[in-house]
A and B are shown apart, each in its own frame.
Chain A
Amino acid sequence: MTGSNDTLSRLETIVGRILRTGVAGSMAFLAAGLIAWAAGSGSAARVLNAGLIVLMAVPVSRIAASFVDAVRRRDRLLASATAIVLAVLALTIVYARAAQP
């Protein structure tokens, strides 16, 4: 990620790891869940949903990691922007739960 700061490459490593393991974990659940569903197993729904939740958590996690890193490096612009994005994401969840059909 651009910036004259070399410590940003540490964030790159962390973010890369989050992205890769998150997707891999999610796909493992989704694949297992799909097989369970095909076999008519009762646990399929839970496993599938777990996979979906893990996947949705990936971008949120990496943003949270960016926030922590920004605070550490006293990058106020990045820290504020990241905090606002996390707040909007939280708001979305609150809204979606409240506005159930």
Chain B
Amino acid sequence: MTEALLTGAAGAVAGMLGTLLGIGGGVFLVPFLNVGLGLGMRAAGAVSLITVIATSSVTSAASGRLRVVNLRLGMVLEIFTTIGGFAGIIFVNRFSERVLELAFGGVVAFVAVAMMTRLDRRNIIAGDQGAVGRLGGRFFDDESGSEVAYRIRRPGVAFGASFLAGFVSTLGIGGGVLKVPALNAWCGVPMRVAAATSALMIGATAVVGSANYFLRGDIVPHLAAAAALGVLAGSQAGTALAARARAKALKVLMAGVLAIVAAVYFFKAWP
């Protein structure tokens, strides 16, 4: 019972932080479940992935979000993400707890670094007469007050980043933190489009890992339920706080926390 309550509370914190930081709560939830409650990496990842599906679906349904999603781009990239996820479940099913801990530590370290070096490019073609190609798009940009266009550059990078994001997602994190910066910094996608598209697609990616864990009996149902409910509650709080919170200070603080988490995992995994 205490486990369930703690998990719910952890979910709420993870959901809130995830929403405030835009990185998803998995990076906080998995360590809590794994180190705090003693769940194995697979069980922890399984619970976390369930919350990822919930978060992805809820945030995408929020008004206006679906409008800036580039569905074609998202779906094409999702091919690579789901294949990456498939590779990920083979990896997770086969390798030892220690290897998973090491992998997780590596990803968290990357997230910590990525949070500190956030690149934010507008990536907009002036005037909507630009040719957008098969995967580019248009949307109404509030900032400039007009419809803007963008086109995709370096699709190979997008495919690679998507595959990687899908692969690491099986550890229980969203993977968006790999995809969004890559799409924005190297592939010419405006930030809002990258974020919205990634947030929607992540739900599908999480199904790959979740289905695997579910069918193999790795999910602890009552903890998954507590976590999912907690995360949704937390993300509501996060959205409410987002206007007031000082994002930059919070990001620095959390990057520090994640760096510590990464260190803990490397320490744990090393013989």
Contacts and interface: CB of A to CB of B under 8 A. Distances in A.
A81 B79 contact: yes
Interface of B: 1, 4, 50, 53-54, 56-58, 60-61, 66-72, 75-76, 78-79, 82-83, 85-86, 89-90, 93, 134, 137-139, 193, 203-204, 206-208, 210-212, 214-216, 219, 221-222, 224-226, 228-229, 232
Interface in A39-77: 44-45, 48-49, 51-53, 55-56, 58-60, 63, 66, 75, 77
Contacts of B90: 95
B191 to A, nearest CB: 14
Contacts of A58: 53, 57, 203
A11 B69 CA distance: 12
B89 A96 contact: yes
A38 B93 CA distance: 31
B204 A89 contact: yes
A55 B255 CA distance: 30
B164 to A, nearest CB: 16
A37 B216 CA distance: 21
Nearest to A1: B71
A92 B85 contact: yes
Nearest to A93: B211
B222 A55 contact: no
Interface string A67-101: 00000000101100110110011011101110111
20 contacts: A3-B138, A11-B71, A19-B60, A23-B57, A37-B222, A52-B224, A52-B225, A53-B214, A55-B53, A56-B211, A77-B72, A78-B71, A78-B75, A81-B75, A84-B79, A88-B79, A89-B204, A89-B207, A93-B215, A96-B212
Given A19-B57, A23-B57, A66-B75, A55 B82 contact: no
Contact of A77 (B69, B134, B208): B134
A7 interface: no
A67 to B, nearest CB: 9
A23 B58 contact: yes
Contacts of B57: 19-20, 22-23, 58-59
A-side interface mostly: helix
Interface of A: 1-4, 8-9, 11-12, 15-16, 19-20, 22-23, 26-27, 30-31, 33-34, 37-38, 44-45, 48-49, 51-53, 55-56, 58-60, 63, 66, 75, 77-78, 81-82, 84-85, 88-89, 91-93, 95-97, 99-101
B216 A100 contact: yes
Contact of A82 (B60, B75, B86): B75
